[in-house]
């Protein structure tokens, strides 16, 4: 399975368009959306290319390929506009023998997430890209934000393929981190 992982769109149509170009070029099967899709949030400035209805128009045709969770800025009004479910606080995805736990990051944190619940913990919320194993051996992936990045890197996203994760810069596709889950014993 191949999946593009994005978080914290915050209504940026131009960032969504760039991210979706990778969905096509990387030949992804799924698009994992880790919350904060349409609203920019009360503490954020308007992101470049802010146009929530255009974001809706770009995402809705991919509804059958989208697995999404709710962020702290997402509301029932957003759900009314979208053709896919985005109100669950978390969901799990199974790929081969790997169990991926998807959440926004405002309710659960990667640092102490237990190995019994998942092999990988995917979250956004901080707008900071990160890819590492926590103390419990869970691979933690934060794709950063495609529209309102924080830290030293610009806008970013993540890519998953068969147990391997990479975090990449939105503008160039350059890989800034890579980790692979350990194969499970059968």
pTM: 0.95
pLDDT, tens digit, 9 for 90 and up, residues 23-39: 999 999 999 999 999 99
Whether 186 shows a pLDDT value over 50: the answer reads: no
Res. 184: pLDDT tops 80: no
Instruction: Using a pLDDT cut of 90, give the percent of the chain over it.
Output: 84
Q: For residue 42, count CB atoms less than 10 angstroms from its CB and return exposed for 0-12, middle for 13-18, buried for 19 or more.
A: exposed
Condensed to tens digits (0 to 9), the pLDDT of residues 102-151 reads: 999 999 989 888 888 999 999 999 999 999 999 999 999 999 999 999 98
The mean predicted confidence, pLDDT, of the chain is 94
pLDDT tens, position by position, 54-70: 999 999 999 999 999 99
Q: Is the dihedral of CA 13, 16, 20, 21 positive or negative?
A: positive
Burial class (CB in 10 A: 0-12, 13-18, 19+), 131: middle
Task: Name the band, by pLDDT with cuts 50, 70 and 90, for residue 100.
Answer: very high
Cα–Cα dist 75/60, whole Å: 17
The CATH fold of domain 2-180: Purple Acid Phosphatase; chain A, domain 2 (3.60.21)
As a whole number, mean pLDDT of residues 17-27 equals 98
């Amino acid at each position: 399975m191949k999946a593009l992982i994005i978080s914290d769109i915050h209504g940026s149509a131009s960032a969504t368009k760039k991210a979706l170009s990778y969905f096509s070029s990387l030949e992804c099967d799924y698009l994992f959306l880790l919350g904060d899709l349409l609203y920019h949030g009360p503490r954020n400035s308007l992101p470049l290319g802010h146009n929530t209805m255009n974001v809706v128009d770009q995402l809705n045709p991919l509804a059958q390929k989208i697995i999404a969770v709710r962020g702290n800025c997402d509301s029932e009004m957003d759900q009314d506009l979208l053709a896919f479910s985005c109100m669950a606080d978390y969901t799990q995805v199974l790929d081969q023998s790997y169990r991926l736990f998807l959440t926004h990051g405002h309710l659960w944190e990667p640092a102490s997430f237990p190995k019994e619940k998942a092999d990988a913990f995917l979250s956004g919320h901080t707008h900071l890209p990160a890819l590492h194993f926590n103390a419990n051996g869970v691979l933690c992936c934060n794709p950063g934000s495609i529209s309102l990045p924080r830290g030293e890197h610009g806008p970013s996203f993540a890519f998953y393929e068969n147990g391997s994760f990479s975090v990449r810069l939105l503008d160039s596709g350059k890989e800034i981190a890579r980790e692979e889950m350990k194969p499970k014993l059968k």
